């Protein structure tokens, strides 16, 4: 992507970002990096979405586990038609810890065993930020057992409102749960801690050793999503996120493991809008495609 102009500032091209402070480690095998597209904010059908991400060059998609047999069949047909892989997202919104765990278990059990195509991974919106440690630990215990039984990697996302909503809280879970694996959406921590986490470097580095999956949203001190990562005013936030992702890639290259990535810049109102009109300030789809290409250019040799 060549550098282009938008309003008063220049958008930062992929080549420039990928070259600046080049990644110290890259995957030699292109199959070691799987980049998935999100259907969050997509207005068309499942078939239309799968056609669109295939055209852009994604390897697959991450979606919430579809509860009905009809929706599961629709998704399976589209995935097979366009030769796409799938990662499922599971979680419960219930405020009651017992009911929340029960609903969560039902989703995990179904997503890991009742679909006609084995998911590459399962990502979890686990527990709640106001549940006790023991109440939240039960979510980890269940996914650990299911993962060992099915050989499907199951990750718990660093997400606001969930059990891993903050860096220091996550550290406690990491230290006490050796099988805990993370989906890193570190944009949430930037927002929660109102910083780029320089004062929690040791904790962040510990968390990076447990990451199996990345959500490539870029956050900042006052929010979980910059309006456009190509805009030069976000250079410091972009640089911080690249440094964190570089470390995860290093661990995966050295271990020989596959890294899965979801480009997950969200639609309004995650994406800021113009007052009164609700018009988005940037193009969500274009940003996510940009992030997909950036990851491939930066991390594939």
197-206 confidence digits (pLDDT tens)? 999 999 999 9
Examine the pLDDT at 5 and tell me if it is beyond 50: no
For all residues of the chain together, what is the average pLDDT? 94
Q: Are 196 and 242 in contact (CB under 8 A)?
A: no
| Contact status, residue 209 vs residue 253, Cβ threshold 8 Å | no
Per residue in 189-245, pLDDT (tens digit) is: 999 999 999 999 999 999 999 999 999 999 999 999 999 999 999 999 999 999 999
Percentage of residues of the chain with pLDDT beyond 90 = 92
| Predicted pLDDT of residue 6 | 37
Higher pLDDT, 142 or 18: 142
> For position 138, what pLDDT does the model report?
98
Helix, strand or coil, per DSSP, at residue 89: strand
**Residue 86: which of 134, 40, 119 has the closest Cα?**
119
Task: For CA atoms 258, 224, 233, 39, give the dihedral sign.
Answer: positive
What would the mean pLDDT of 69-87 be, rounded to a whole number?
98
Q: What is the pLDDT of residue 7?
A: 39
Strand partners, 261: 35, 214
Q: Which of 11-25, 50-64, 165-179, 241-255 has the lowest mean pLDDT?
A: 11-25
- List pLDDT tens digits, range 26-48: 999 999 999 999 999 999 999 99
d(CA 88, CA 68): 14
pLDDT at 204: 98
Give the pLDDT band of residue 3 (cuts 50, 70, 90): very low
> Within 10 Å of residue 108's Cβ, how many Cβ atoms?
26
H or E element: which one contains 193?
helix 187-193
Question: What is the enclosing helix (H) or strand (E) of 253?
Answer: helix 235-255
Q: Which residues contact 239 (CB under 8 A, 6 or more apart)?
A: 21
Decide which of 233 and 4 is more confident.
233
252 pLDDT above the threshold of 50:
yes
How long, in residues, is the chain? 301
How many other CB atoms are found less than 10 A from the CB of residue 200?
18
Query: Quick one: CA dihedral 202, 259, 101, 42, positive or negative?
Result: positive
Q: How many CB atoms lie within 10 A of CB 107?
A: 20
pLDDT of residue 13: 73
Instruction: Report pLDDT for 22.
Output: 82
pLDDT recorded at residue 123: 98
């Amino acid at each position: 992507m060549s550098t282009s102009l938008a309003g008063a500032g220049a958008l930062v091209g992929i080549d420039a970002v990928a070259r600046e402070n080049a990644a110290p480690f890259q995957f030699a095998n292109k199959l070691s990096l799987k980049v998935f597209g999100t259907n969050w904010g997509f207005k068309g059908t499942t078939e239309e979405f799968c056609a669109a991400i295939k055209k852009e060059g994604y390897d697959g998609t991450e979606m919430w586990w579809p509860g009905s047999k009809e929706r599961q069949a629709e998704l399976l047909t589209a995935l097979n038609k366009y030769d796409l892989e799938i990662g499922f997202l599971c979680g419960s919104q219930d405020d009651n810890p017992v009911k929340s765990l029960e609903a969560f278990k039902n989703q995990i059990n179904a997503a890991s065993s009742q679909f006609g195509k084995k998911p590459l991974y399962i990502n979890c919106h686990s527990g709640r930020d106001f549940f006790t440690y023991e109440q939240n630990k039960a979510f980890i215990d269940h996914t650990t057992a299911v993962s060992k039984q099915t050989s499907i990697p199951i990750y718990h996302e660093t997400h606001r409102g969930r059990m891993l909503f903050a860096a220091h809280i996550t550290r406690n879970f990491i230290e006490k749960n050796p099988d805990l694996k993370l989906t890193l959406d570190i944009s949430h921590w930037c927002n929660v801690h109102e910083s780029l986490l320089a004062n929690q470097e040791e904790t962040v580095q510990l968390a990076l050793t447990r990451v199996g999956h990345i959500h490539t949203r870029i956050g900042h001190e006052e929010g979980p999503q910059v309006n456009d990562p190509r805009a030069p005013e976000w250079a410091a936030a972009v640089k911080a996120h690249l440094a964190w992702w570089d470390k995860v890639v290093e661990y995966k290259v050295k271990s020989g493991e596959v890294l899965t990535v979801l480009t997950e810049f969200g639609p309004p109102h995650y994406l800021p809008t113009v007052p009164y009109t609700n018009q988005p300030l940037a193009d969500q789809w274009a940003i996510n495609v940009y992030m997909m290409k950036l990851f491939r250019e930066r991390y594939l040799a």
